[in-house]
Amino acid sequence: MAHRNGKEERRFQRPRASKPSTLRESAEVSRIAADLLAWYDRNARVLPWRTPPGAGPADPYRVWLSEIMLQQTVVATVKPYFGRFTTLWPDVVTLAAAPREAVLAEWAGLGYYARARNLHACAGVVTRDHGGRFPDTVEGLLTLPGIGPYTAAAIAAIAFDRPVAAIDGNVERVMARLHAIKTPLPAAKPRIRAVADAAVPAERPGDFAQALMDLGATICAPKTPRCAECPLAGDCAGRLRGLAATLPRKTPKPPKPARTSAVYAHFRNDGAILIETRPDSGLLGGMIGLPGPDWTKHPPTPETIAAAAPGAADWQRAETEARHVFTHFSLTLGVLVATGPALQGRRYMAFEAARAAAPTVMRKAMEIARAGLRDGARITASAGVKKNTPPDEGGARWGRAAGPRQDFGKL
């Protein structure tokens, strides 16, 4: 907003929730909405889940699917997944009828796998309890699995033209700069919510929501905002005060804790790899992977690692570790490799099929294991995988197994 004097600035810094119409009906807010929509009409990103500007609400199924996929994931990564999902399952009813394992397999590589489980569960609820039609209000959408406040608002605005603010990271950034909100996130969220709610126009709220997202993604960028190209530059208090590039401010996050564990990769004589399905609850729930100890805060003991082995084999430790960063911690996995006849009672899958269906961290471990077979158990570093230092003499890094199942002195 154009904060040309202290009085006007205070009015926008402390909007009164009891009178939202005061701001919404103001000439300044109306002008900002008009300027932003005019910019969007000319510059809207062409995305497979969108309708063109001014064309009216989009398909709720496609909006919902895209918003779930876009959580913590960039547009370029989502596009091919969205295309595959909508080809396989063009509507919510066909998605609900799909086996969950097929949905999880198609999701592999997108990360945050609880989203995939909730996606399938939500499709079932919409099909079973709502006749295949999504609720058209924020309140109704919030009753569905996997849908939180932002996603509910985005679907309500974009698919049903409800006048609600959908506030993602892009919108937070635009609003913090527009109003020169210097309070660090997350403490600034209530203030950002208030000004965002006040900014939503009665006409074309869905296009307005997407215009804010596009502005934040393309012009009001995190580190190098292109203020000279911004349709709101004349009203941006952050730009006028020379603060735009520094906003929003964020409270520093503590470093992510590091965890270590191990996985076992057993190759049957025909090249198939032993896999297991992880429990539904917890990280990577319901996905396929390699067996091994849990990823707890404390490193596993040699006894714990030995107990997690899927069977007796000549286990060799790969020289390369699989490394991956999750939302709340970083993980390093030692990879233990063996070949031979199938281990009793265990499930195997063709390597490429297992690799395609596995989440990223398991895919890294599988690739390390197969590279070890090609290279005589000497592993070469590859993308996303770092080479570790040689193990201590006698396998001290992982310890020796108790019992006859494997010799950790070789690891």
| Cβ atoms of residues 154 and 163 within 8 Å | no
Helix axes 75-88, 60-70, angle to 10 degrees: 140
Q: Using alpha carbons only, give the angle 371, 377, 380 rounded to the nearest 5 degrees.
A: 45
The gap between the terminal CA atoms of the chain, to the nearest Å, is 63
Sign of the CA dihedral with 124 first, then 127, 132, and 133 last: negative
CA distances to 27, 319, 352, 385 from 36, in Å = 14, 55, 47, 44
The residues carrying an active-site annotation are 67
Give the HSE-up count for residue 299: Cα atoms under 13 Å, Cβ half-sphere. Answer: 10
Q: Which two tokens stand for residue 330?
A: 């970083």
Q: Which two tokens stand for residue 349?
A: 């899958």
For 388, the 3-state DSSP assignment is: coil
What gap in Å lies between CA 89 and CA 348, rounded to an integer? 28
Q: What is the DSSP string of 135-165?
A: -SSHHHHTTSTT--HHHHHHHHHHHH-----
Q: Using alpha carbons only, give the angle 68, 73, 74 rounded to the nearest 5 degrees.
A: 115
